[in-house]
């Protein structure tokens, strides 16, 4: 809670180009939730998290700025929502350090994202990658977030955040709000178009596996056309047909249809028809976002102003929590 209002915080790493998975699992829900008057929303561009994997400095800058534009282009109004860069608010790594001292090695060892990423980047298993979830806990707890809208893959990080906050509150009293995850009804786990047993990811080496938010219509249609399905030849929603199920999930997340409605719509049709319909629906959904993005790209001043004002706002709230934490732990306050 902040100023008597329910508070929401979420964010994305600023690496590469975000995918349809990021959009349907997170960004689209943020936009829907942001329309609710009584919620104070914070959305971070989590650039500090990005460097747990080696980044090219020029690319990192480009990706972070582009992500800010995509947040706005998707419909997050920066006058109503606080959109900020994590690296502009030093309270994040400051609180993360303190929380590190309240987190156990065994807890971090269990994190599946750490296991996956260290397998993928075996030559760079750094301690930042290991303590990544603690920085994420700091992101959330600094804003006293009640709700954290994320895709299913972030659930484990949310649970550890709750554990750390509960532990800290148990020692020092009610310092942190214990956050709940908000997972959308559909789109919570969008799968790769080339391997539907794997989640769609921006770092997938096969470019046909993911739809990127700025892909043009032809590319979107082509990728869906090539999507891996099966040889059953029947449109059904079941575990044995993960490729088809993923297409139905994507279609429903975009159109708002239910599984029953979609199965009825495509009854007796072939996979080609379904793929084309999903491609059309996705391209139609992304077209206004892409047009707005192109406009924003030209307006450097507006984006710079948003960055500055929102970083100040985020810092104000984050520092308030950090001061409270530091006092509780027993650090001497700097004389004013
Ligand atoms: P990141 O950058 O990997 O993903 C951003 C958001 O997109 C969701 N997502 C998906 N949802 C459905 N299907 C998919 N295939 C898919 N891929 C990604 C993620 O669940 C996430 O909601 N650690 C976070 C970033 C972060 C954060 C935070 C999130 C840092 N601090 C504080 C919430 C609160 C991450 O790596 O997300």
CATH (domain of 132) = 3.40.50.620
Asked if residue 55 and residue 28 are part of one domain, the reply reads: yes
Instruction: Please give the chain's pLDDT, 336 residues, in tens.
Output: 888 889 999 999 999 999 999 999 999 999 988 777 688 999 999 999 999 999 999 999 999 999 999 999 999 999 999 999 999 999 999 999 999 999 999 999 999 999 988 998 899 999 999 999 999 999 999 999 999 999 999 999 999 999 999 999 999 999 999 999 999 887 789 999 999 999 999 999 999 999 999 999 999 999 999 999 999 999 999 999 999 999 999 999 999 999 999 999 999 999 999 999 999 999 999 999 999 999 999 998 999 999 999 999 999 999 999 999 999 999 998 888
- Same domain, residue pair 289 and 325: no
Of 48, 58, 54, nearest in space to 14 by CA = 48
If one counts the domains in the chain, the total is 2
d(CA 324, CA 2) in angstroms, rounded, equals: 14
CA–centroid distance, 21 to ligand 1, in Å, is 9
pTM: 0.96
Distance CA 56, CA 61 (A): 9
Our CA angle for 164, 68, 100, nearest 5°, is 20
Distance CA 289, CA 138 (A): 31
Render pLDDT for 256-265 as a digit per residue (tens, 0 to 9).
999 999 999 9
pLDDT at residue 335, as a whole number: 87
Residue 334 located in a structural domain: no
| Residue of 28, 199, 223, 275 marked catalytic | 199
What is the Å distance from ligand 1's center to 153 Cα?
7
pLDDT tens for 3-35 read: 888 999 999 999 999 999 999 999 999 998 877
* Residue 157 Cα: closest atom of ligand 1: 23
CA-nearest residue for atom 27, ligand 1, is 11
**Is there a domain that residue 336 lies in?**
no
User: Is 312 within a domain?
Assistant: yes
Structural domain includes residue 151:
yes
CATH classification of the domain holding 263: 1.10.240.10
- The closest alpha carbon to 144, from 34, 45, 41, 71, belongs to 41
Which residue, chain included where needed, has tokens 């032809």? 218
Shared-domain flag, residues 256 and 145: no
- What is the 34 CA–ligand 1 centroid distance (Å)? 17
117 belongs to the catalytic site? yes
171 and 65 in a common domain = yes
Residue ranges making up the domain that contains 253: 217-295
């Amino acid at each position: 809670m902040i100023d008597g209002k329910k508070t929401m915080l979420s964010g994305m790493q600023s690496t590469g180009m975000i995918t349809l998975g990021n959009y349907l699992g997170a960004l689209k829900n943020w936009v829907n939730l942001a329309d609710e008057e009584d919620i104070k929303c914070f959305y971070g561009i989590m650039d500090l998290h990005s460097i747990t994997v080696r980044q090219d400095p020029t690319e990192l800058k480009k990706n972070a700025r582009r992500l800010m534009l995509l947040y706005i282009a998707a419909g997050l109004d920066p006058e109503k929502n606080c959109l900020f860069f994590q690296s502009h608010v030093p309270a994040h790594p400051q609180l993360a350090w303190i929380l590190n001292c309240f987190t156990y090695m065994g807890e971090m060892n269990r994190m599946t994202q750490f296991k996956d990423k260290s397998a993928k980047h075996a030559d760079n298993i750094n301690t930042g990658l290991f303590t990544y979830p603690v920085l994420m806990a700091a992101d959330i707890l600094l804003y006293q977030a009640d709700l954290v809208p994320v895709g299913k893959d972030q659930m484990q990080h949310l649970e550890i955040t709750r554990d750390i906050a509960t532990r800290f509150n148990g020692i020092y009293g009610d310092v942190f709000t214990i956050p709940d995850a908000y997972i959308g009804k559909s789109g919570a786990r969008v799968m790769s178009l080339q391997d539907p047993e794997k989640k769609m990811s921006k770092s997938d080496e096969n470019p046909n596996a993911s739809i990127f938010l700025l892909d043009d219509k032809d590319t979107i249609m082509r990728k869906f056309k090539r999507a891996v399905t099966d040889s059953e030849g029947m449109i059904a929603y079941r575990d044995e047909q993960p490729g088809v199920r993923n297409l139905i999930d994507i279609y429903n997340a975009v159109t708002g249809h239910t599984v029953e409605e979609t199965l009825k719509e495509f009854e007796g049709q072939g996979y080609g028809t379904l793929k084309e319909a999903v491609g059309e629906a996705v391209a139609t959904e992304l077209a206004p976002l892409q047009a707005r993005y192109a406009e924003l790209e030209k307006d450097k001043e507006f984006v710079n102003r948003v960055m500055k004002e929102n970083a100040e706002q985020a810092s104000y709230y984050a520092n308030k929590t950090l001061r409270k934490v530091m006092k509780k732990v027993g650090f001497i306050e700097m004389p004013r």
